[in-house]
Amino acid sequence: MIKATLLIAFTMMLMSACTHSLRDQCSQWTPIIHMNAALRESKVLKLSREQQYEVYFCAMRFMHPPHLGIAITVASNGEKIIPLLRHRLKKSDEREIVDILFVFEQMEANEFFSVSTNETLMDELNLGRSRIGNKVLKSIADDSMRRIRGLD
Residue 42 lies in a domain: yes
Residue 4 lies in a domain: no
Residue 20 lies in a domain: no
Question: How far out from the chain centre does Cα 124 lie?
Answer: 15
Determine if the pTM surpasses 0.95: no
Residue 113 lies in a domain: yes
- As a whole number of angstroms, the distance between CA 59 and CA 113 comes to 23
The total domain count for the chain is 1
Query: pLDDT tens, position by position, for the chain (152 residues)?
Result: 555 444 454 444 444 444 557 678 899 999 999 999 999 999 999 999 999 999 999 999 888 787 789 999 999 999 999 999 999 999 989 999 999 999 999 999 999 999 999 999 999 999 999 999 999 999 999 999 999 999 87
Are 75 and 106 spatial neighbours (Cβ–Cβ below 8 Å)? yes
